[in-house]
């Protein structure tokens, strides 16, 4: 019983502290941004911290070179809706368009950063335009949309080949993701069932696609960390958000139902940290590879459509309806989650959680000055455990935290070769 109570307290403590820490991380960077004519910017992408593009449902394209604070309109048209945008570098980009039948379907491409856009016709089988477009490089790309429309290009998006399969289950194809040049997945809504979704995958670069199996959730986005581990988001028949995960290349999936409205996008900047976004400004964060999710305050109640990370995944952007743009910058000087330098290692403390004593192991592969310090969660130094010259070797330090209160603490190892930090939990 005592262990159960401690576990419950730990979950509550982590949820409270992490929410408090992260609540102000996503900031509205353009609170008064309202393009001329109120054209409702709602989707976009960035290729680095400064350069990005945004589109509207009324055929407008904007570009920023200062991180989203100021935007210049690159294209102005009321004839069609832009739905998705994909840039692979500062020059090459593509736009998917939703066209009202019976007008001929097309997409747009640029080779000069969006200064000019070329109209590219789609095959005659296209009836309603595209919802999603994804390029692996400057030549190879895929696009999909309503009524099982699925196309492939290998010349930079000039010529498109219809790869829709007979009797396919897609009512709409909502997202495409490739983890490498061969392995990709696509998700969407079922063609022959109400409120259900489909996941398909390819292992040969998109030449052939296999239906993994239909699901009871309508799926909006998919993301894989590697060939084995992936995630997808959507919503169930009651319009509650769902996060699904797989550890076997998508053959089987586990689902996590959240007290959340519909979810539209998911991304994992690294193996552990994940973000999911959706209606009413909902942002969810995981710090444990998707096992648990914590809601993060977002300063908005708008529908959030797209999340991207740039600059080695240290800067994030979220695009939402009604010209909503949120920015996240990981810039915490006392917590450095970069890869541990090869010259030294810092292990996770044990036990963790602990009360009141824990052990920290580390190793120095070359002689160096070493400093091991403890910080509270706000970044204030509270103790220095080690501060001297070390010869190469393995070391162990015990920390007695009896005079401190329950909470999350940071231990930081500094040497001549770099800095690394980890978190630990004191639970009394």
Could you report the per-residue pLDDT of 404-423, keeping only the tens digit for each?
A: 998 889 898 888 777 788 88
Helix (H) or strand (E) holding 223: strand 218-224
Predicted confidence (pLDDT) at residue 358 exceeds the cutoff of 80 = yes
For the chain, the average pLDDT equals: 82
Q: pLDDT-based confidence at 380, cuts 50/70/90?
A: confident
Tell me if 228 sits within 8 A of 248, measured CB to CB: yes
Min mean pLDDT across 53-57, 91-95, 164-168 is at: 164-168
Handedness of CA 52, 56, 61, 62 (dihedral sign): negative
Q: pLDDT-based confidence at 202, cuts 50/70/90?
A: very high
Tell me if 262 sits within 8 A of 275, measured CB to CB: no
Q: Residue 291 contacts by C-beta under 8 Å, 6 or more apart in sequence?
A: none
9-60 residue pLDDT tens: 444 444 444 443 443 478 888 655 665 555 677 799 999 989 999 998 778 8
Q: What is the pLDDT of residue 214?
A: 63
Predicted confidence (pLDDT) at residue 307 exceeds the cutoff of 60 = yes
Predicted confidence (pLDDT) at residue 223 exceeds the cutoff of 60 = yes
Q: Residue 258 contacts by C-beta under 8 Å, 6 or more apart in sequence?
A: 240, 241, 242, 243, 284, 293
Q: Residue 360 contacts by C-beta under 8 Å, 6 or more apart in sequence?
A: 346, 347, 349, 372, 385, 396, 397, 398, 399, 411
In angstroms, how far is the first alpha carbon of the chain from the final one? 15
Q: What is the pLDDT of residue 257?
A: 77
Reduce the DSSP state of residue 206 to 3 states and report it: coil
Min mean pLDDT across 92-106, 145-159, 160-174 is at: 160-174
For strand 407-415 and strand 368-376, is the pairing parallel, antiparallel, or unpaired?
antiparallel
Q: What is the pLDDT of residue 15?
A: 44
In whole angstroms, give the CA distance from residue 247 to residue 225: 10
Q: What is the pLDDT of residue 122?
A: 83
Q: How far is CA 366 from the centre of its chain?
A: 37
Predicted confidence (pLDDT) at residue 283 exceeds the cutoff of 90 = yes
Q: Residue 372 contacts by C-beta under 8 Å, 6 or more apart in sequence?
A: 360, 362, 384, 385, 386, 387, 397, 411, 412, 413, 414
As given in the structure block, the two tokens for residue 1 are 């019983």
116-143 residue pLDDT tens: 999 998 887 666 668 899 999 999 999 9
Predicted confidence (pLDDT) at residue 147 exceeds the cutoff of 80 = no
Name the DSSP letter for residue 301. -
Q: Report the share of the chain in percent with pLDDT over 90.
A: 38
Q: What is the pLDDT of residue 282?
A: 94
Selected residue with higher pLDDT from 353 and 58: 353
Q: What is the pTM of this model?
A: 0.72
Rounded to an integer, the average pLDDT of 203-230 is 88
51-82 residue pLDDT tens: 999 998 778 898 999 888 888 888 887 677 88
Q: How far is CA 134 from the centre of its chain?
A: 15
Concatenating the DSSP letter of every residue in 96-149 gives EEE--TTSPPEEEEESSTTSS-EEEEPPTT--SBEEEEEESSSS-EEEEEBTT-
Selected residue with higher pLDDT from 33 and 106: 106
Domains in the chain, ordered, with CATH? Answer: 22-329 (2.130.10.10), 344-426 (2.60.40.1930)
> Closest Cα partner for 271 from 288, 250, 285?
288
Q: pLDDT-based confidence at 343, cuts 50/70/90?
A: low
């Amino acid at each position: 019983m005592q262990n159960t109570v401690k576990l419950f307290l730990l979950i509550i403590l982590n949820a409270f502290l992490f929410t408090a820490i992260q609540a102000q991380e996503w900031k509205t960077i353009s609170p008064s941004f309202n393009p001329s004519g109120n054209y409702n910017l709602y989707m976009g992408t960035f290729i680095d911290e400064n350069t990005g593009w945004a589109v509207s449902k009324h055929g407008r394209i904007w570009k920023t070179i200062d991180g989203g604070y100021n935007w210049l309109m690159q294209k102005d048209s009321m004839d069609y809706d832009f739905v998705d945008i994909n840039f692979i570098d500062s020059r090459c980009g593509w736009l998917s368009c939703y066209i009202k039948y019976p007008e001929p379907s097309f997409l747009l491409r640029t080779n000069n950063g969006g200064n000019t856009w070329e109209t590219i016709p789609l095959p005659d089988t296209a009836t309603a335009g595209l919802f999603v477009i994804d390029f692996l490089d400057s030549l190879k790309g895929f696009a999909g949309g309503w009524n099982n429309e699925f196309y492939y290009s290998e010349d930079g998006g000039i010529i498109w080949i219809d790869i829709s399969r007979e009797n396919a289950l897609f009512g709409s194809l909502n997202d495409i993701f490739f983890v490498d040049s061969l392995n990709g997945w696509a998700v969407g809504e079922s063609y022959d069932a109400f409120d259900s979704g489909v996941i398909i995958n390819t292992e040969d670069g998109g030449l052939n696609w296999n239906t993994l199996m239909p699901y009871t959730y309508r799926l909006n986005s998919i993301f894989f960390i590697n060939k084995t581990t992936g995630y997808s988001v959507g919503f169930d028949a009651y319009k509650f958000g769902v996060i699904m995960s797989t550890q076997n290349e998508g053959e089987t999936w586990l689902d996590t139902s959240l007290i959340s409205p519909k979810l539209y996008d998911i991304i994992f900047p690294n193996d552990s940290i994940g973000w999911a976004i959706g209606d009413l400004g909902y942002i969810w964060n995981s710090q444990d590879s998707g096992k648990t999710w914590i809601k993060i305050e977002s300063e908005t109640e708008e529908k959030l459509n797209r999340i991207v990370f740039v600059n080695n995944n240290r800067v994030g952007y979220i695009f939402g309806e009604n010209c909503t743009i949120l920015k996240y910058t990981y810039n915490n000087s006392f917590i450095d989650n970069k890869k541990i330098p090869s010259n030294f290692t810092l292990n996770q403390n044990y036990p963790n959680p602990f009360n009141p004593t824990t052990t920290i192991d580390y190793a120095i592969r070359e002689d160096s000055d070493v400093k091991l310090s403890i910080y509270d969660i706000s970044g204030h130094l509270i103790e220095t455990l080690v501060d001297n010259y070390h010869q190469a070797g393995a070391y162990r330090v015990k920390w007695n935290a009896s005079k401190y209160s329950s909470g999350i603490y940071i231990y930081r190892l500094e040497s001549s070769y770099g800095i690394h930090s980890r978190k630990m939990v004191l639970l009394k």
